[in-house]
């Protein structure tokens, strides 16, 4: 995922009295407040399951994650912790959601299922957990912190990723997988997602253009244009095959 999706946004004043109503179903008030404050296309257009494929890809990973009652799950870079909340509800696991931005975690706590999750503000690159603390580590379209994920994974843990992955045939994908294998992980499942990602960016671009008056009023002209530019860059990069996306489940040796 590009930096435009990763970096926490500075807080912006809420926009009131909009002339152009949303044409998408109303979000939960806690998520709506966040979308108003942050003025970011990825909150407005991707919603609470804020990664390529949305809840469908979360479920695909969940089925392969080995999570169950009492297992400890880390949703790293969780945004509002939609993955952690779903995992806790569906598997009975002990779910911990972290994000670098405490506003996102506070909104997640107020969303349905939020009380079943523990919320901890933290940078993925400096996780405040002991070694081998987790049975399953999740990083969906967020910063992948190779050393910290290795450190906090217990023997036999799974690592569930939705992330940028080379989509060409020049060995980049193999190199990505081999980096994890060298650290003692075995690939358990892989699903290419480049076509879905390209579609997601195209839809986002089309929505930003189609509803320009709404988004321009909501974000301000300069921010609107910057965001449109970022999405257009993504569309181009994915259409040219310069960037790709995939789901991975790795399992660590016991
Ligand atoms: C595109 S969202 C994905 C959120 C979530 N994983 C999901 O699938 O719904 C990226 C999130 O990663 C968080 N993030 C980016 N860099 C981070 C870092 N170094 N440590 C922790 N969180 C980070 C952002 O604040 C944002 O909430």
pLDDT, one tens digit for every residue, the chain (254 residues):
343 444 333 333 333 333 333 444 568 999 999 999 998 999 999 999 999 999 999 999 999 999 999 999 999 999 999 999 999 999 999 999 999 999 999 999 999 999 999 999 999 999 999 999 999 999 999 999 999 999 999 999 999 999 999 887 778 999 999 999 999 999 999 999 999 999 999 999 999 999 999 999 999 999 999 999 999 999 999 999 999 999 999 999 99
For the chain, the domain total comes to: 1
pLDDT at 68: 98
pLDDT at 26: 63
Kindly give the pairing relationship between strand 153-164 and strand 185-192.
unpaired
pLDDT at 4: 40
Measured in angstroms, how far is the CA atom of residue 186 from the centroid of ligand 1?
A: 25
* Cβ atoms within 10 Å of 37's Cβ, excluding its own: 18
Q: Residue 130 sits in which domain range? A: 65-194+245-252
pLDDT at 253: 92
Measured in angstroms, how far is the CA atom of residue 56 from the centroid of ligand 1?
A: 19
Query: Is 56 part of a structural domain of the chain?
Result: no
Query: Is 90 part of a structural domain of the chain?
Result: yes
Radius of gyration, CA atoms only, the chain: 18
58 CA: nearest ligand 1 atom? 8
CA distance 200 to 238: 10
| 116 to 50, 97, 109, 140: CA distances (angstroms) | 20, 11, 9, 20
Query: Is 18 part of a structural domain of the chain?
Result: no
Query: Is 141 part of a structural domain of the chain?
Result: yes
Q: What is the CATH number of the domain that holds 114?
A: 3.40.50.150
Residues within a 6 A CB radius of ligand 1: 1, 5-6, 8, 42, 49-51, 77-79, 82-83, 99-101, 104, 123-125, 140-143
Q: Does the predicted model carry a pTM greater than 0.85? A: yes
| 110 to 32, 49, 53: CA distances (angstroms) | 12, 15, 24
Please count the residues of the chain: 254
> What DSSP assignment string belongs to 126-180?
B--S-TT-EEEEEEESS---HHHHHHHEEEEEEEEEEEE---SSSSHHHHHHHHH
Measured in angstroms, how far is the CA atom of residue 48 from the centroid of ligand 1?
A: 12
Query: Is 71 part of a structural domain of the chain?
Result: yes
Query: Is 17 part of a structural domain of the chain?
Result: no
Query: Is 156 part of a structural domain of the chain?
Result: yes
Q: Distance between terminal CA atoms of the chain?
A: 31
List the alpha helices (DSSP H) in the chain. Answer: 3-6, 29-38, 41-46, 54-63, 82-91, 102-110, 146-152, 172-182, 194-210, 212-219, 221-239
Query: Is 49 part of a structural domain of the chain?
Result: no
CA distance 16 to 20: 11
Measured in angstroms, how far is the CA atom of residue 19 from the centroid of ligand 1?
A: 31
Torsion angle, alpha carbons of 129, 135, 140, 145, to 10: 40
């Amino acid at each position: 995922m590009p930096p435009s999706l990763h970096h926490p946004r500075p807080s912006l004043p809420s926009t009131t009295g909009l002339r152009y109503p949303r044409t998408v179903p109303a979000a939960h008030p806690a998520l709506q407040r966040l979308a108003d404050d942050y003025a970011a296309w990825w909150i407005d257009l991707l919603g609470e399951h804020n990664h390529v494929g949305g809840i469908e890809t979360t479920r695909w990973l969940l089925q392969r994650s080995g999570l169950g009652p009492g297992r400890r799950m880390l949703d790293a870079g969780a945004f509002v912790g939609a993955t952690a909340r779903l995992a806790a509800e569906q598997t009975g696991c002990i779910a911990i959601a972290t994000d670098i931005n405490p506003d996102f975690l506070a909104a997640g706590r107020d969303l349905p299922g939020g009380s079943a999750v523990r919320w901890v503000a933290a940078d993925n690159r400096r996780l405040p957990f002991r070694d081998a603390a987790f049975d399953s580590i999740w990083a969906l379209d967020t910063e992948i912190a190779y050393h910290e994920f290795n450190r906090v994974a217990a023997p036999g843990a799974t690592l569930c990723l939705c992330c940028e992955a080379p989509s060409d045939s020049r060995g980049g994908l193999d190199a990505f997988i081999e980096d994890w294998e060298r650290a003692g992980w075995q690939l358990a499942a892989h699903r290419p997602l480049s076509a879905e990602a390209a579609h997601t960016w195209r839809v986002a671009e089309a929505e930003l253009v189609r509803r320009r008056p709404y988004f321009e009023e909501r974000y301000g002209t300069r921010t609107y244009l910057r965001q449109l530019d970022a999405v257009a860059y993504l569309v181009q990069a994915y259409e040219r095959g310069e960037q790709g996306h995939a789901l991975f489940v790795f399992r660590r040796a016991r």
